Amino acid sequence: MRYGVLRALGGGAVVLGASGLLGGCGVVSAGPDPVCTDTKEAFQQYMTQVRSAPAADPAQWRQATEKLAGRLDELAEEAGDDDLEKALTAEADRLRAAAAAVGGGDVTQLNTVMSKTPARIGEVCG
């Protein structure tokens, strides 16, 4: 278990580093589409949740990650734009896959997903 905690601690720093990309004037902008604004808010809420989750409790990280994936699925249904819907659905799928590993204390996959999310969503939200 100690090894898993260490992996969570090390990876947590990278995941939280991604919050700067999503929270500020990053690529995920509040474009003209309200779904883009809601997507940015969903990521900001996620970052708040993982900041407060102890690294030694990967179940909380998994739960927060699965919740974000679910929210992105909801937003994809509201999108009204095929490109935005596809991007949000794909991101939700990536997060859901990463959540399984996070539950075991390994955040490597989550770090990869989160580091690429701003560019992928930003392409469609501009």
Decide: 87 and 121 in contact? Cβ < 8 Å: yes
Residue whose structure tokens are 């989160």: 114
Residue whose structure tokens are 């095929």: 82
Express each pLDDT in 40-68 by its tens digit: 999 999 999 988 888 788 889 899 999 99
Express each pLDDT in 67-104 by its tens digit: 999 999 999 999 888 999 999 999 999 999 999 998 88
Least confident of 13-17, 32-36, 49-53, 79-83: 13-17
Q: What is the mean pLDDT of residues 5-27?
A: 45
* Token output for 119: 């560019």
Q: Does the pLDDT value for residue 12 go beyond 60?
A: no
Task: Determine the structural domain holding residue 79 and report its residue range.
Answer: 2-24+33-125
Q: What is the pTM of this model?
A: 0.77
Q: What band does 25 get if pLDDT is binned at 50, 70 and 90? A: very low
Phi/psi-derived region of residue 96, left when phi > 0, alpha when psi is between -120 and 50, beta in every other case: alpha
Q: Is 6 in a helix, a strand, or coil?
A: helix
Domain count, the chain: 1
